[in-house]
Amino acid sequence: MIPMKILGIETTCDETAAAVVTLGDEERGRILSNEVLSQIAEHAAYGGVVPEIAARAHVEVLDRLIARALQRAGTTLPEIDGIAVAAGPGLIGGVLIGLVTAKTLALVARKPLLAVNHLEAHALTPRLTDGLAFPYLLLLASGGHTQLVAVKGVGDYVRLGTTIDDAIGEAFDKVAKLLGLGYPGGPEVERQAQNGNPERFALPRPMLGRRQADFSLSGLKTALRIEAERLEPLASQDVADLCASFQAAVVDVVVDRVRVALRAFAGVAGHPTALVAAGGVAANGAIRRALAAQAGEVGLSFVAPPLPLCGDNGAMIAWAGLERLRLGLVDDLTVPARARWPF
């Protein structure tokens, strides 16, 4: 088979991204280009993503970014075999911009349109990077989502657990805001935690021991706020210790919830090929190390994308599009943008 070249477009949140991916050796993807423009600077002053600002920033740069992705990949639009775009879930203004752009390119260049679920793209990333075979257990943790999923095939997912309140990344972001750290919060909290004592504060481990693989994080965040308020004004060591104690609690919760999900996995999908972490939170070193150790204990390998592919990027969208095109799952130009889109 002649390797397909897919253009991927991502505009669902605060990264504008475009990439070209093709099929490489051993069922892996080969990334020919992967351009990402982060809007962190635009949103930092507000301590979070402002949807209107995000949409405007996408519009300003997307055309040029696509042109650059094609150029760096040494290709041109006529040589592309499909246009993949994240059609949701996400901030609707941004999603619309990516989708309208992709539809226009597909129409003008007469290429198949591949409307990709952003979460599905995170979920399939270990196949892009490692050629991982189905089925695998996925912890998908980002700013907006926290799910444990049995990934059985393209479009074949069984959700084993989710959060009943905050997403893990959201909890990191809220804790960072509370402690006066920058945005996005995850990397800041992790950096602070490196110099902190994880045992100084006895924070709760919500849901520990529950039989369903669900998460709850708002109680943990509230407990941390109470500790922080008691200590006001916070010394820098207090901040580090609070971050370390928070991160340690999250790690314990994640490991416990994954243990439950691993048990449930057998009933729905048999034996997993690996334990996988994906989404922005998968960049967290403490979580990665804990999951790697846990996987090792039960004789599973642990797979997590390299750091640049954990956060939002165009390569994962292109890859998910490639997987869909291979199966003939092409969309038509009426496909809608979706703010919400469970997968």
Q: Which residues are annotated as a binding site for substrate?
A: 140-144, 173, 186, 190, 284
With H, G, I as helix, E, B as strand and everything else as coil, classify residue 200. Answer: coil
Closest distance of CB 15 from Zn ion, Å: 9
User: Which residues participate in the annotated binding site for Fe cation?
Assistant: 118, 122, 312
With H, G, I as helix, E, B as strand and everything else as coil, classify residue 79. Answer: helix
Alpha carbons 173 and 48: distance in angstroms, whole number: 8
If binding is defined by CB under 5 A, does position 142 make contact with Zn ion? yes
Alpha carbons 305 and 308: distance in angstroms, whole number: 8
Nearest to 327 by CA among 178, 196, 155: 155
Closest distance of CB 282 from ligand KG4, Å: 8
Six token digits for residue 280: 């922005």
| Binds 188: which of Zn ion, ligand KG4, none (CB < 5-8 Å by kind) | none
If you search the block for the tokens 């902190």, which residue do you land on? Answer: 196
Which residue number, 224 or 264, has a Cβ lying nearer to ligand KG4? 224
Task: Work out the number of other CB atoms within 10 angstroms of the CB of residue 143.
Answer: 24
Which residue number, 119 or 132, has a Cβ lying nearer to Zn ion? 119
User: Which residues participate in the annotated binding site?
Assistant: 118, 122, 140-144, 173, 186, 190, 284, 312
| Binds 283: which of ligand KG4, Zn ion, none (CB < 5-8 Å by kind) | ligand KG4
Contact 139, 254 (CB under 8 A): yes
Upper half-sphere CA count for residue 282 (Cβ side, 13 Å):
29
Which residue number, 190 or 238, has a Cβ lying nearer to Zn ion? 190
Which residue number, 312 or 323, has a Cβ lying nearer to Zn ion? 312
H helices present in the chain, as ranges: 40-44, 51-72, 92-109, 118-130, 168-178, 185-193, 218-231, 236-269, 285-297, 307-310, 314-326
Closest distance of CB 312 from ligand KG4, Å: 4
If binding is defined by CB under 5 A, does position 312 make contact with Zn ion? yes
Site track for Zn ion across 256-295, x = CB under 5 A: ----------------------------------------
Question: Taking contact as CB under 5 A, which single stretch among the options 26-34, 44-52, 135-143, 177-185 is the one that binds Zn ion?
Answer: 135-143
Upper half-sphere CA count for residue 132 (Cβ side, 13 Å):
29
Sites of contact with ligand KG4 (CB under 6 A):
13, 142-144, 169-170, 172-173, 184-187, 190, 279-281, 283-284, 311-312
Closest distance of CB 307 from ligand KG4, Å: 9
Please report, as ranges, the residues that interact with Zn ion according to CB under 5 A.
142, 312
